[in-house]
Amino acid sequence: MPVYLDHAATTPILPEALAAYVHALTTVGNPSSIHSAGQATKMVLETGREQVAASVGADSVEIVFTSGGTESVNLGVKGLYWARQRDRARPRIVVPAGEHHASVDTVTWLEQHDGAVIHEIPLDALGRLDLTALAAALADPSDVALVTFLWANNEVGTIQPVADVVRIAHAAGVPVHCDAVSAYGQVPIDVHHAGGGSEPLDATSISAHKIGGPVGIGALVLARSAVVEPLIHGGGQQRQVRSGTQDAPAAAAFGVAASALHDSARATVLRDAVIAGVASRVPSAVLRGDPVDRLPGNAHFTFPGCEGDSLLFLLDAAGISVSTGSACQAGIPEPSHVLMAMGVSETDARGALRITVGHTTTPEDVTALLDALPDAVARASVAGMAGHAPALGAR
């Protein structure tokens, strides 16, 4: 049986979410129409919105449905940036190193096309952002448009000090966008009391397919007080922020997935079994990320002398799906920018492997991984010394 251990990339849709999606597809009507068919669809849509809102401690009016996490990040970052230019120039965007490419590429686009200035905050060796550097960056906030950061790193799983970040930014009068896509469904999220603190988030990005919902829908949780410029113009269906006919069936499925019980304790047990097993079977492996404050489903390692892609191919040939966690642009494997930001050498960063458990993971899946891994590492080490990756399916 195939073993799927790449839940951070996407996780299988929950049966109840799929059932809700299929059922909602039979409801015909545009939710913006005032006739009974349209209003029936609107009821489906708004029920999903209320369920998603409840999952993050938000009001339903604060949920702006999008096509997924990437659009949410673009709307949150660009929207806040453009809105902050209305009365005077505020070109600076404060962003930690090692962010998801949805944020990295968005702020880079604003730098190249719209005069933004990127102010990067360093990470420590565990992937935590430097709060002292953040405070220094906001000592004079007069030219700062926003702060944007990950709730938890999508590669190494380190959970950031969310409450402290929001407190520092708001004390300087700067709005905050948080990319919570990787954290959503894994740790408690209350956007009105970010990270358990007293301050609310201004904008928060989440996605359905990371929690057992369908691909193709996400949300920007936008505080009532937040002002953003829209990316998409048209009918103004969602607070004049995001235009377009809303996908009621996807919203229904998203809502059901958001309402499901996400068992972080079970995920933690499985993750810890992976970490302990890898340490025992492959003593040279190095656990990356915070050993304590990390996502329940995330185990991330580097394997000295190995190429991560080699490990991935060898495990895939054994029927086990994992990830390197590194970017691959234009077909050329690149070392993880996250690990590089944490001070890991380029050579070591190339040997990364991310193993992420989820709602379908069993103890037997973990055993299968641990049984296959030592041989994969041994063969990948030989391939690394030879300067090439093994062919897919090679024995």
Using one digit for the tens of pLDDT, what is the confidence trace for 213-254?
999 999 999 999 999 999 999 999 999 999 999 999 999 999
Taking the C-alpha atoms of residue 13 and residue 217, their distance in angstroms, rounded to an integer, is: 13
Of residues 320, 355, 49, 55, the one with CA closest to residue 183: 55
Q: Any residues with CB less than 8 A from the CB of 316 and at least 6 apart, and which?
A: 392
Q: What percent of the chain has pLDDT over 70?
A: 95
370 vs 228: CA distance, rounded Å: 47
- In angstroms, rounded to a whole number, what is the distance separating the alpha carbons of residues 284 and 343? 18
In this prediction, residue 65 has a pLDDT band, given cuts at 50, 70 and 90, of very high
Q: Which CATH class is domain 15-259?
A: alpha beta
pLDDT grade, residue 395 (50/70/90)?
Answer: very low
User: What pLDDT does residue 333 have?
Assistant: 72
Tell me what the mean pLDDT of segment 68-88 comes to. Answer: 98
Rounded Cα distance, 373 and 206, in Å: 33
pLDDT band at 261 (very low <50, low <70, confident <90, very high): confident
Per-residue pLDDT of 86-130, as tens digits, reads: 999 999 999 999 999 999 999 999 999 999 999 999 999 999 999
List, by residue number, the catalytic residues. Answer: 328
User: Average pLDDT in the 174-187 region?
Assistant: 98
Q: How far apart are CA 15 and CA 63, in angstroms?
A: 24
In whole angstroms, give the CA distance from residue 65 to residue 268. Answer: 30
Contact 361, 269 (CB under 8 A): no
C-alpha gyration radius of the chain: 22
- Return the minimum-mean-pLDDT range out of 126-135, 237-246, 257-266, 282-291: 257-266
- Report how far residue 334's alpha carbon sits from residue 327's, in angstroms, rounded to the nearest whole number: 6
Question: Which residue type occupies 375?
Answer: D
pLDDT at 334: 85
What does the mean pLDDT of the chain come to? Answer: 95
Spell out the domain ranges in the chain: 15-259, 263-385
The reported pLDDT for the residue numbered 383 is 76
Q: Checking phi first, is residue 192 left (phi over 0); if not, alpha (psi -120 to 50) or beta?
A: alpha
pLDDT, tens digit (0-9, with 9 covering 90-100), for 40-53: 999 999 999 999 99
Q: pLDDT tens digits, residue range 314-348?
A: 999 999 999 998 544 445 678 999 999 999 999 99
Taking a C-beta distance cutoff of 8 angstroms, is the pair 299, 5 a contact?
A: no
pLDDT at 390 over 70: no
Cα 54 to its chain centre, rounded Å, is 19
Please report the pLDDT score of residue 328 as a whole number. 45
Residue listed under structure tokens 């005069």? 115
Give the C-alpha separation, 209 to 323, whole Å: 17
Q: Which residue has the higher pLDDT, 262 or 183?
A: 183
The pTM of this model reads 0.95
The span from the CA of 292 to the CA of 290, in Å, is: 5
* 3-state per-residue secondary structure call for the chain: CCEECECCCCCCCCHHHHHHHHHHCCCCCCCCCCCHHHHHHHHHHHHHHHHHHHHCCCCHHHEEEECCHHHHHHHHHHHHHHHCCCCCCCCEEEEECCCCHHHHHHHHHHHHHHCCEEEEECECCCCCECHHHHHHHCCCHHHEEEEEEECECCCCCEECCHHHHHHHHHHCCCCEEEECCCCECCECCCCCCHHHCCCCCCEEEEECCCCCCCCCCEEEEECCCCCCCCCECCCCCECCCECCCCCHHHHHHHHHHHHCCCCHHHHHHHHHHHHHHHHHHCCCCEECCCCCCECCCEEEEECCCCCHHHHHHHHHHCCEECECCCCEECCEECCCHHHHHCCCCHHHHCCEEEEECCCCCCHHHHHHHHHHHHHHHHHHHHHHHHCCCCCCCCC
CATH of domain 263-385: 3.90.1150.10
